[in-house]
Amino acid sequence: PSAQPSRTSRVASKMTRFQMENNGEQIKKFVFGKQNTTEPAEKLEIVIPELLLPGYSFYTWPSAPILAWFLWERRLSLINKRVLELGAGTALPGILAAKCGAHVTLSDCTTLPKTLQHIQRCCRLNGLAPGKDIEVIGLTWGLFLDQIFQLGPVDLILGSDIFYDPSVFEEILVTVSFLLEANPQAKFLFAYQERSADWCIETLLKKWNLSCNVISLDNLSAELGVDPQELMGNHTIHLLEVTRRS
């Protein structure tokens, strides 16, 4: 999707891979903090299990580290914030927010129980107990079922690479519009990988009374010693903030 942003730079976290025994599961470890320094520095490690299964939700897509780094650099502002991640998948940004002191609810499609179970596993591997330290719920875009009405107040809505198919764009934005109407001070922060320059959400934003600003990634993580091109390959990543139109 596009609000016609200018080209932005890219950033990735330091990441290592290793295999768990016997179950074919790949574990990725993401390290947030100053890189390539001997100085004492705050650091956070998050491990994400990935499964070799068909489906979008068992793999950490390139936008997730971008959003996670952006949140890490603003981690102090996350303390005690009420955060909802949509289409969480492996939930890297949401887990990071929880580790930084936010009250986080991770959500994914209600009709994908294996995805929700996998999110719970991602949480447990990072010392977060579902139902205690973090919440995991089914929430289907565009459907207004009990789960969305039971959410309670939200300060920040997150999404990484959820705009992967134009057929779901309006379902996402009508859900976001509903949440922002209920929480007028909240923001929807999302990162996505550009797949087509022809995809655009501008008309849908106007339809659902939303406004969108592009957040520059030019200086993201520069002071932390992270190479913006590292691990991103040739992907183009954008970071945007959506609010209720006044």
pLDDT in tens, 163-208: 989 999 999 999 999 999 999 999 999 998 888 777 889 999 999 9
Instruction: Give yes or no for residue 8 having a pLDDT over 50.
Output: no
Domain assignment of residue 214, given as a range: 14-244
Three-state DSSP at 139 gives coil
Q: How would you label 87-115 residue by residue, b for 16+ Cβ within 10 Å and e otherwise?
A: bbbbbbbbbbbbbbebbbbbbbbeebeeb
In a domain, 238, yes or no: yes
Count structural domains, the chain: 1
Three-state DSSP at 15 gives strand
Q: Residue 196 CB: number of other CB atoms within 10 A?
A: 9
- Tell me the per-residue pLDDT of 26-50, one tens digit each, with 9 for 90 and over: 999 999 987 655 555 689 999 999 9
In a domain, 8, yes or no: no
In a domain, 113, yes or no: yes
- Let me know how long the chain is: 246
CATH number of the domain that 119 lies in? 3.40.50.150
In a domain, 9, yes or no: no
In a domain, 5, yes or no: no
Tokens representing 61 are: 């897509």
In a domain, 33, yes or no: yes
Q: Residue 57 CB: number of other CB atoms within 10 A?
A: 20
Only one residue has tokens 């690479």, namely 161
Q: What is the pLDDT of residue 118?
A: 95
Q: Where are the beta strands (DSSP E) in 163-227?
A: 187-193, 210-215
pLDDT (average), residues 95-103: 99
Beta strand 210-215 with 187-193 is unpaired
Is pTM beyond 0.85 here? yes
In a domain, 194, yes or no: yes
pLDDT band at 150 (very low <50, low <70, confident <90, very high): very high
In a domain, 4, yes or no: no
CA-CA-CA-CA dihedral for 218, 224, 230, 235, to nearest 10? -30
